[in-house]
Structure 1
Amino acid sequence: MDEKMDKTKILVVEDQAIVALNIKIRLKNLGYAVPSTAVSGEEAIREAELTNADLILMDIMLKGDMDGIEAARIIKSRFGIPIIYLTACTDFETLERANLTDAEGYISKPFKEEDLYKNIETALLKNRSKKKNKRVVRVKDKSY
């Protein structure tokens, strides 16, 4: 099997180009694929669908009318892709809104590569467990 085919695909949603590039480089160094980046909520939704990403790193403050929290809510409801917020916004109100999206994690900027890796792997593991449990429940439901 082609090595690139089994790499975890992570969509980076960040409105500052230099920060997005830095994150992309770090992710590639950690062995992940970064098929795309997005600078707005609308673009994030489009790219989530097009790239079939395994996970999204989402900044909360984005360009355009839609912030990262609203984009995350839509992406999770449409595609079920796990989201980790990567943000400098840590005020209580923002975190409360973000919590409503059932995000898999938060990483505060600036961040360490080690924290990035741990959060991504934990989110992916939780998501695989959720999917596995849903399949088990469906199989059990059919037997009645």
Structure 2
Amino acid sequence: MTGVRILVVEDEPLIADDIANQLRINDFEISAIAYDYEDAVYELKFNAPDAVVLDINLGAGKTGVDIAEVINEKYGLPFIFLTSYADKETLERAKRTEPLGYVVKPFDERNLIATLEIALYNFSQKQKNTQPALNLDKINARILSPLTEREFAVLQQIYEGKSNQQMADSLFVSINTIKTQINSIYLKMEANSRSSLLAKLRGFS
């Protein structure tokens, strides 16, 4: 799997499927769909995504805000909120979790994708401010099979939080070419997702 892996948390199955389908059309991958707090916490622990789309209202019980607090405390992943309505107290709690975006229901595909792409970019920029710039020679000194210059260019774009489509547009190649290069990067760096790849890069610094 080479795309950005998204955990969708939404208690309405039809809406959850619609979100997942729209993300897939735009070359994101769905790590899982969770319908409540317990499902989401399980997926975060055992099937780590690269980012999370969170409905605030999840019916009875704990909310998407509770999940956001778990993400901040344990996983440090980017997330955005989906909401149609929430009371003032819930919205104030939501703000304190520092989401990287809000999407208001009913939403359209362009708004969802744009919000998610901006969230990924802003998250990566925030991470980069605390990490040194990538260096091809230093990375290749730590892995058995060296990255090519082209693979390093793709790696830098991943580091900047770009989606597969954004990388293809930026590097003037097809999405299939990007996927092939990402697979090669994963193999050489012994990673299986963007989050594990970025964690390895942080370990190299």
SS at match of 1:122: helix
What stretches of structure 2 of length at least 5 have no aligned partner?
Answer: 133-205
Alignment of 1:39 onto 2:35: yes
SS in 1 for 2:31: coil
Shift of 1:90: 4.5
Report the 3-state secondary structure (helix = DSSP H, G, I; strand = E; otherwise coil) of the residue aligned with 1:86: strand
AA aligned opposite 1:115? N
**Is the 8 Å Cα contact of residues 15 and 63 (structure 1) preserved in structure 2?**
yes
Whether 1:112 aligns to 2:108 is yes
Three-state SS of the structure 2 residue aligned to 1:104 is coil
Aligned residue type for 1:36: A
TM (norm. structure 2) is 0.61
Alignment of 1:87-98 (within 5 A): 87-98=83-94
1:20 to 16, 21, 25: 16
- Cα distance in 2 for residues equivalent to 1:95 and 1:135: 32
Kindly indicate whether the alpha-carbon contact (under 8 Å) linking 1:10 and 1:33 is maintained by their aligned counterparts in 2. yes
- State how far apart, in whole Å, the 2-side matches of 1:131 and 1:9 are: 18
CA distance in 1 between counterparts of 2:19 and 2:76 reads 23
What is the root-mean-square deviation of aligned Cα atoms in Å?
1.4
The residue type paired with residue 98 of structure 2 is: D
Deviations 1:21-53 (A, max 9, x none): 111111101110002010111211211222221
SS at match of 1:58: strand
Range moving further from structure 2, 57-66 or 97-106: 57-66
What residue in structure 1 maps to residue 6 of structure 2? Answer: 10
Q: Is 1:51 equivalent to 2:52 in the alignment? A: no
When structure 1 is superposed on structure 2, of 41-50 and 109-118 the one drifting more is 41-50
The answer to whether residue 61 in structure 2 is matched with residue 65 in structure 1 is yes
CA gap of 1:91–1:65, structure 2 versus 1, over 3 A, is closer
Q: CA deviation at 1:107?
A: 0.3
Contact residue 40 and residue 64 of structure 1 kept, 8 A: no
- What is the DSSP-based 3-state SS (H/G/I as helix, E as strand, rest coil) of the residue aligned with 1:35? strand
- Residues 55 and 81, structure 2, Cα contact 8 Å, conserved in 1: yes
Q: Which residue of 2 aligns with 1:131?
A: 127
Distance 1:24 1:84 in 2: 14
Stretches of structure 1 that go unaligned for 5 or more consecutive residues are: 137-144
TM-score by length of 1: 0.86
State the Cα deviation string for residues 65-118 of structure 1 (Å, max 9, x = none): 211101111112100011100111254332211001011110001101110111
| Aligned residue in 1 for 2:155 | none
For 2:20 and 2:131, locate their aligned partners in 1 and report how far apart those are by CA, in whole Å: 33
